[in-house]
Amino acid sequence: MLVGLGISGIPARWLEMPLWKELHIPQPQSRADSRPGGLVQGISLGLFGGLRALLADLLWLRVNLSWERRRVPDTLAYLHLVTAVDPRPLIFWLNGARMMAYDMPSWRIENLAGRDGPVTGLRERIEAEQTRLALAWLDEALKSHPASAAIFIERANLQLNCRRDPAAAAADYRRAAEQPDAPYYAARLHAELLRRVGRKAEALAWLVELHPRLPQGEEAAAAGLVLSRIRELEEELGVPSEQRYLPRI
């Protein structure tokens, strides 16, 4: 019987290998590395099969419960566990980053100083720590979702809103815009932030390259808005009229 299974296994592998390659690639890259998260993911994937997603959903409920109770260690622990079990849903990574960067600083400040206590200096330090943590978390997410525009956008939002670093945010919006599932606004925000930090020529070049690729009839693409920004930048940079961008009709 074993010999029969072994012999039939050769053509079966021939059937399976391309199929598995196709099915395996759409899943995030394996996290089966040396870290405990990789091990948890591997075991849960193998043992639970179809139940893995369900297990992760239940753990996600636990994350939300800890979040409601404003418990930093519990929320962090469950966030790591849930993404170790199932790193595929983006919602786990994105909401996790938001919890770390936007919610946890205020919980920590409350715990350290009380709701109305003196927080000068303390707030900045904790916010910076939490932002670093959230950015590292999103870097980890990129190992599972290397081509996800949503993760780059979340990174950009953190750079802009928490670190107040428009140049870094512009770089992340650009990486978001380069992904296949990117929303149109990512490219516009990249240009807008370049403009804000004084790199107007770069912003203009980016928009001029972007505009011909935008579908004219689609509201979200906002081709008209992009053209008006091109004109504004050309004005600000004093581009001669013969060198100005001419949209193809």
Partner 1 sequence: MNAWQFSPRRVGLIARVTFLEARRQRLLPLLMLGAAGLELGAQMLEEFNFGLSELKFIADLGQGVAAFFGSILAIVASAQLFFREIDERSALTLLAKPVRRSEYLAGKFFGIMAVISLFCVLMTALIIVMLWSRETALMHGRPELWERGRHLNYAAILAVGFAHWLGLAVLVAFTLLIASFAQSSLFTVGVSLGVLVICQLQFLAQEAYAKAGTLGGRWVAGFIALLFPNFQVFNLGDVTGVEGEIGVMLLARVTGYALFYVGVAGMLAVFCFKRREI
Binding site for partner 1 (CB under 8 A): 1-2, 4-6, 8-13, 15-16, 19-20, 22-23, 26-27, 30, 32, 42, 45-57, 60-61, 64, 88-89, 91
CB of 139 to partner 1, least distance (A): 21
- Give 184 or 206: the residue with its C-beta nearer to partner 1: 184
Name the residue nearer to partner 1 (CB basis): 36 or 198: 36
Smallest gap from Cβ 148 to partner 1, in A, equals 14
Closest CA to 100 of 130, 80, 122: 130
Three-state SS string across 162-218, please?
A: CCCCHHHHHHHHHHHHCCCCCCHHHHHHHHHHHHHCCCHHHHHHHHHHHHHHCCCCC
Compute the radius of gyration of the chain from its Cα atoms. Answer: 24
Structure tokens at 54: 């369900």
Q: Which is nearer to partner 1, 64 or 106 (CB)?
A: 64
Cβ proximity to partner 1, 38 vs 129, nearer residue: 38
CB of 220 to partner 1, least distance (A): 11
> What is the smallest separation between the CB atom of 195 and partner 1, expressed in angstroms?
31
Q: Where are the alpha helices (DSSP H) in the chain?
A: 2-24, 36-48, 52-68, 72-85, 90-98, 104-113, 122-144, 149-161, 166-177, 184-196, 200-210, 223-237
Q: How far is the CB of 37 from partner 1 (least distance, A)?
A: 15
Choice between 12 and 167, CB closer to partner 1 = 12
